[in-house]
Structure 1
């Protein structure tokens, strides 16, 4: 089963995922530890003491401040980075909040949505589409198969490759969820005028593709 992408998840355009993945990846790789409540700290490489995250029991308001005393260019870059991270955090949280009502995690929904729009895929292809490591994806697919939402079979041309596809139950579930998901995303971006939204999308794509194509050291 294959359907035309309703948004984002296209074969040659992964702007939304690159944007979110780049932001969260940069944060994890370069930020100082993020402290959640009194006893929750995310380990990270020591870099800049820029972030103060106050989140009583992970339900409070996220706050950040930039106290780095650097050049104008450095401050502008850090200010943009902080605002980008805060926006991506808020958007991802709000856009995916409803998935719990259907017993799905964000990763499980991403797999179902990719299969719904692109048809059967190998696990490696799914990993590339939704920007998840193959190791983590194995457990996600295991749970989806356990719940009767996807099936797996060996590829005829290469028995080492496993092809994942939607079951009828999985296709029905994603078809039910997707319209609500898209409406929710549309509502989130309603604060922007159409011209602002187009500019935001273009800038996000430019940044995301530049980071994706940058050679790793």
Structure 2
């Protein structure tokens, strides 16, 4: 099989097509969500930290990065910015000085209470290209795909 035939065959491969379509869809949706978040004077990382603290309460700084997929070195910078804006506060852990907790302030809660309902509406508008049933199917299929990819990663790191 020559290179041209091999390329043509690969182009028709559903795995490759799924990857391309998934990547493009993610980029389109993520760009819309980021634009919405920026309209409130935040970036997606700031919003992710605030949303995590709002919904899950006080968190050790070390855990925040893992939960919102942020490098540990960046978390200090993000929390510093949010603290200066009055949205987050740090609390040292009295039993271990190496651990510091972050929590959302009343000002941060007020901000999220103001913007989250509109942000939610925007996400509903962005995902309105799918019916409720299609959204549920997509959630299950993407979860299955992600779990499989994580399992492969885990096996490769053993």
State the TM bucket, normalised to the shorter chain. Answer: 0.7 to 0.9
Aligned residue number for residue 69 of structure 2: 131
Aligned residue number for residue 181 of structure 1: 119
- Count how many residue pairs are aligned between Structure 1 and Structure 2: 151
Aligned residue number for residue 190 of structure 1: 128
Aligned residue number for residue 168 of structure 1: 106
List per-residue Cα deviations over 1:139-194 (Å, max 9, x = no partner). 11111111111011111232210100111111111111111111111111211122
TM-score normalised to the size of structure 2?
Answer: 0.87
TM-score normalised to the size of structure 1?
Answer: 0.64
Aligned residue number for residue 31 of structure 1: none
List per-residue Cα deviations over 1:86-126 (Å, max 9, x = no partner). 10011111122122222211000000000000000011221
Q: Distance in 1 between matches of 2:125 and 2:93?
A: 41
Q: Distance in 1 between matches of 2:14 and 2:36?
A: 35
Q: How does 1:1-217 map to 2 (within 5 A)?
A: 69=7, 71=9, 75-213=13-151, 214-215=153-154, 216-217=156-157
Does the aligned pair in 1 maintain the 2:91–2:101 contact within 8 Å?
yes
SS of 1:151's equivalent?
strand
Aligned residue number for residue 3 of structure 2: none
CA positional deviation for 1:203? 0.8
Which structure: greater helix fraction?
2
Alignment gaps of 5+ in structure 2? 1-5
Q: Which 4+ runs in 1 deviate beyond 6 A?
A: none
Does the aligned pair in 1 maintain the 2:50–2:108 contact within 8 Å?
yes
List per-residue Cα deviations over 1:57-89 (Å, max 9, x = no partner). xxxxxxxxxxx7164697221111010011001
- Root-mean-square deviation (CA, aligned residues, Å) is 2.0
SS of 1:103's equivalent?
coil
Asked which structure has the greater CA Rg, the reply is 2
Residues 134 and 74 from structure 1, CA distance in 2 versus in 1: closer, same or farther, beyond 3 angstroms? farther
Does the aligned pair in 1 maintain the 2:93–2:101 contact within 8 Å?
yes
Say which structure, 1 or 2, has more relative contact order (CA 8 Å, 6+ apart): 1
